[in-house]
Structure 1
Amino acid sequence: MKQSTLLRLTLPGLAMITLAACSHKSPAHQEGGEMAVEVAMPVTDSITIYKTYPGYISANASAAVVGRVNGTLLTRTYDGGSLVKKGQVLFTIEPTKYRDAVQQASAALQTAKSEYEYASNQYAAMKKALESDAVSQMDVIHAQSSMEQAEAAIKQAQASLSTAQTNLGYCTVRAPITGHITTSTVDPGSFISGEGAPFTLAQIYDDSKVVIIFQIEDTQYQRMLNSRGTSDESSYRHVPLTFTDTLPHSYTADLFYTAPTIDKSTGTLELKAQVDNPYGELRDGMYVTVHLPYDTDPKAILVRDASIGTDQLGKYLYVVNDSDKVIYTPIKVGDLYNDTLRVVTEGITPQSRYVTSALLKVRNGMPVNPVIK
C-alpha cells in the first residue's frame, strides 16, 4: 500500500518536471526551430598587396680553404660544420722542405750583402785612386759595375727569401673569412699537391647575413614601377619571407639589387635581398618564398581565414542573406593578412554576413538564426 502511494505522488511530479522542461526552448533555436549561428561582417581596410615568388638563399660570402704547397697534411684543428673565425688555424702541412728553403735564402742574402759591401768599398777606393792617376777610368767603371751587380744580387736574394717565407707560411692554413666550414676533403696523413694549383681543403660560408635571390616577371616589374614609383625605396624594406617549414623566428629582407637587364630567354628580372641571420637558422641553398609588395588596396575585404571552406570547386563561404538563409558562396582569395584574416577579391561585399561557427552543421538554403559576433 505504501508503494502505490509513492507511485501516485511521483507520477505527478514527473509530469510537472516534463512540462517545465518543455516550457524552455533550447538557446540554439528560435521560434520555428532555426539553429543559431554566429556570423560576422567583413573588415574593410587599406592593405599592401603582395605577390609571392620562389627564391633561394645564398651565403653573404664564401671562400675556399686551399693548400698552396706540396706536403703531407699533419693536422686538422676543427670539426665539420662548426663556426670558424678569420685567421683561425685549420690545417698544418709538413714544413721541413720550406723551412730549409728559408734558411738557404737567408744565407744567400747575407752573402749578397757581404759582396755588396766589398764591391762598394772597392769602388770608393778606385774613385780615390783615380784622383792621383793611380788607376784608369776604366778600372773605376769596372768597380762601379761590380758594386751595382752586388746591389742587384741583394734585391734578388731578398725576393727569394720573401718567396721562401711565404711558402713556409702556407704550411699553416688559416681561415680566410669567418663562417661555417665544411668537412675536409682529405684527412691528416694525406699528401697534397698545391704548388702547381691550389688544392681545395674545405669551404667556408659566411652566413651572418644571407642573400635571397629570386626572379620576377618583366610585366610585374613594370607594374611595380607604375604603382609605386622608383623613388619609393621604403616599399622594398622588410619584405616578408616564409619557408616550407615554419622556423622558430620570423624574417624579413631588404632589397638591395635589381639586375640591369631582363633575361630574354625567360622574360624575368633577377632581384636580391639581404637578411640578418643572428640565430644561424638560414643556410646557403635553402628555399624561401618572397612576399613582394607591389601595390595597395585602400578598400580590401577581409574575412576570418578559419571561416573559409575548400571543395572541388575552390574556396567558399557560407553567407546569410536578407531572408536569414545560408547561401553557399564561391569566392576568390588573396594573401593572408595579420595571420588570421584572408583577403577576398571576389564573391562577397562589405555588407555580406558570413558564418563563423557551426560550419559543419549548416547547409545551402538552410534557415538560421544569425547572431553577429
Structure 2
Amino acid sequence: MPSRASSGVARTLLGALTLLLVVGGCNDGAGSAPPAERPLPEVTFVEIQPEVITADDILPGRVSALRIAEVRPQVGGIIQKRLFEEGDLVDEGQPLYQIDPAPFRADVASARAVRDRAKANLELAEIRAKRMRSVTGTGAVSELDIESAETGLALAKAELAQAQAALDRAALNLRYATIRAPIAGRISISQITEGALVTMNDPQPLTRIQQIDQVFIDIKQPIARYEELRRAFEDGSILRDDALPVSLFSVSGEPYPEEGRLLFADISVDSSTNELTLRVLADNTEARLLPGMFVRARIAYGEQRNVILIPQQAVRREPSLGDHVMVIEEGDTVGVRAIQYGRVVNRRYVILSGLKPGERVIVEGHDRLTPGVKVSAKPFDLPPQVKE
C-alpha cells in the first residue's frame, strides 16, 4: 500500500512539472516576438494650384479738403458785424463780415463829383474844338489856337477816363467793405470779433472755409511697390482695372461707406521715406471724413492671374536655410524648398519663387521632420475666410 501512495504522488509532481515547462515555453516564445513598428509622423498639406486674385494694397492715408479758402479783407477798416454762425455751411458769395462802409461811401461820392467835373470839362473842350474846326482856313484863328483846342479836347477825354476809373475803384472798395465767402463749404472759427481793426496786410486770416462734400486722400506708397506694379501692368500679369476703385477704412479697421477712385501718382519721391504720394478722390456727402484724419485705403489695381499662395504657417525660417517650406515628395517623403514670398492675401503668402503647381506643401506637423523622412499626410482645411 505505501508503494502505491508514493507512486501517485510521483505522478502528480511529474504532471505539475510538465505544466510549468509548457507555460514557461509559451512565455519564452512571447518574449522573443519582434517589436511593433513606430507610427509615421502625421502632417497636413496643401497642393499648390495657380489662383486668380485681386491685386491690391492697403496703405495709410490722410484726408484733406477738396478746396480751402482763407477769408481775408481786401480793404482796411473796423469790423461792424459778423454775419455767420461758426461751423455753418456757407454759400459762395454769402456775406460774412461787414466793415464800416461810411469812409468808402464818402470816397465814392468824392470820386463821382470829380468824374462829373471831368465830364463837364470834356463837353466844354468839345465845343471849343468844334468852333475852331469851323473857321479853319479862313485866317480868323491861328494854327496854334486850333492845335491847342484839339489838345485840350484830348486832355479832357483822358481826365474823364481817369475820373471814371477812380470812381470805379471807390465803388469796388465799397463792395469790398462787405466781406463775402470766396467758395461754398463749411466755415471755421472766426479769428476776430466786432470792433476789430483789419487791414489787407494782416498775417492771420479772418477765418477759413473748407469744401468737404468731396475730399482728397493722400496715400504713401513705397517706390519699390510702385515699380513692381508698373512692371506687372506692362507684362500683363495684372489686368488693370481702369476705374481703380479705393475702399476706405478707419484706423481701427471699420469700413466707411464712402468709396473713392485713384486720380494720379505724384512724380516726386520723398527722399526721407522713399515713398510716392497717391491722390484719391472720395465722395463725402455725410461729412464722415474730416480734414486731417488718418485712414487706411485699399486700392484694387486689377486681376492678377497664376498666383501661388500658401498658408503663412507653412513657411519656416532658419539661419542656415533662410525662408523655406517642407514638401511631400514621391513616396511620401519629406523634401525642402527655398522660397521667396511677397505680401499677405487672406492669411496666405504670395510666393514669388521656389514652388511650382502640383507640389504638396506641408502646413502642420513640422516638429522633428528631416529631409527623407516618410510621413502620413492628409489635406489641410483652409479657414472659411480664406476659401472665400
Range into which the TM-score falls when normalised by the shorter chain: 0.5 to 0.7
Q: Residue 247 of structure 2 is aligned with which of 234, 240, 244?
A: 240
Distance in 2 between residues matched to 1:277 and 1:78, nearest whole Å: 23
- Could you tell me whether the CA contact under 8 Å between 1:46 and 1:300 is conserved in 2? no
Cα–Cα, structure 1 residues 291 and 248, in superposed 2: closer, same or farther, change >3 Å? closer
Q: Does 1:296 align with 2:304?
A: yes
Q: Residue 255 of structure 1 is aligned with which of 246, 262, 265?
A: 262
Describe the superposition over 1:4-58 as per-residue Cα deviations: whole angstroms up to 9, x where unpaired: xxxxxxxxxxxxxxxxxxxxxxxxxxxxxxxxxxxxx99x863213332211011
What code does the residue aligned with 2:284 have? N
Cα–Cα, structure 1 residues 230 and 352, in superposed 2: closer, same or farther, change >3 Å? closer
Q: Normalising by structure 1, what TM-score?
A: 0.68
Distance in 2 between residues matched to 1:352 and 1:118, nearest whole Å: 106
- Structure with greater Cα Rg: 2
Distance in 2 between residues matched to 1:297 and 1:144, nearest whole Å: 86
State the partner residue of 1:73: 79
- Could you tell me whether the CA contact under 8 Å between 2:248 and 2:297 is conserved in 1? yes
What code does the residue aligned with 1:205 have? Q
Q: Residue 131 of structure 1 is aligned with which of 137, 142, 151?
A: 137
Cα–Cα, structure 1 residues 198 and 131, in superposed 2: closer, same or farther, change >3 Å? farther
What code does the residue aligned with 1:241 have? L
Q: Residue 190 of structure 1 is aligned with which of 196, 203, 225?
A: 196
- Could you tell me whether the CA contact under 8 Å between 1:192 and 1:199 is conserved in 2? no
Distance in 2 between residues matched to 1:95 and 1:248, nearest whole Å: 51
Distance in 2 between residues matched to 1:123 and 1:108, nearest whole Å: 22
- Could you tell me whether the CA contact under 8 Å between 1:334 and 1:343 is conserved in 2? no
Distance in 2 between residues matched to 1:46 and 1:277, nearest whole Å: 32
Which region of structure 1 is more displaced relative to structure 2, 222-231 or 69-78?
222-231
Cα–Cα, structure 1 residues 55 and 344, in superposed 2: closer, same or farther, change >3 Å? same
Distance in 1 between residues matched to 2:103 and 2:96, nearest whole Å: 20
Distance in 2 between residues matched to 1:333 and 1:223, nearest whole Å: 11
Distance in 2 between residues matched to 1:333 and 1:265, nearest whole Å: 24
Alignment of 1:34-49 (within 5 A): 46-49=52-55
Partner of 1:212, secondary structure, is strand
What code does the residue aligned with 1:170 have? Y
Root-mean-square deviation (CA, aligned residues, Å) is 3.2
How far is the alpha carbon of 1:297 from its aligned partner?
A: 5.5
How far is the alpha carbon of 1:239 from its aligned partner?
A: 1.5
Which region of structure 1 is more displaced relative to structure 2, 286-295 or 87-96?
286-295
Partner of 2:205, secondary structure, is strand
Partner of 1:130, secondary structure, is coil
How far is the alpha carbon of 1:198 from its aligned partner?
A: 7.7
- Could you tell me whether the CA contact under 8 Å between 1:116 and 1:150 is conserved in 2? yes
State the partner residue of 1:34: none
Q: Normalising by structure 2, what TM-score?
A: 0.65
- Could you tell me whether the CA contact under 8 Å between 2:233 and 2:240 is conserved in 1? no
Describe the superposition over 1:74-104 as per-residue Cα deviations: whole angstroms up to 9, x where unpaired: 1112222211111111111100000110111
Q: How many residues align?
A: 283
State the partner residue of 1:102: 108
How far is the alpha carbon of 1:253 from its aligned partner?
A: 1.9
What code does the residue aligned with 2:209 have? I
State the partner residue of 1:209: 214
Cα–Cα, structure 1 residues 212 and 355, in superposed 2: closer, same or farther, change >3 Å? closer
How far is the alpha carbon of 1:171 from its aligned partner?
A: 0.8
Partner of 2:271, secondary structure, is coil
Q: Residue 221 of structure 1 is aligned with which of 214, 223, 226?
A: 226
Alignment of 1:277-356 (within 5 A): 277-293=284-300, 296=304, 298=306, 342-345=346-349, 348=363, 351-353=379-381
Alignment of 1:7-26 (within 5 A): none
What code does the residue aligned with 1:296 have? Q
- Could you tell me whether the CA contact under 8 Å between 1:126 and 1:140 is conserved in 2? yes
- Could you tell me whether the CA contact under 8 Å between 1:182 and 1:204 is conserved in 2? yes
Cα–Cα, structure 1 residues 60 and 252, in superposed 2: closer, same or farther, change >3 Å? same
How far is the alpha carbon of 1:127 from its aligned partner?
A: 1.3
How far is the alpha carbon of 1:222 from its aligned partner?
A: 0.8
Q: Does 1:93 align with 2:99?
A: yes
Gaps of 5+ in 1: 1-40, 309-331, 337-341, 357-373
Partner of 1:176, secondary structure, is coil
- Could you tell me whether the CA contact under 8 Å between 1:68 and 1:199 is conserved in 2? no
Q: Residue 274 of structure 2 is aligned with which of 247, 264, 267?
A: 267
What code does the residue aligned with 1:110 have? D
Alignment of 1:124-163 (within 5 A): 124-163=130-169
What code does the residue aligned with 2:134 have? K
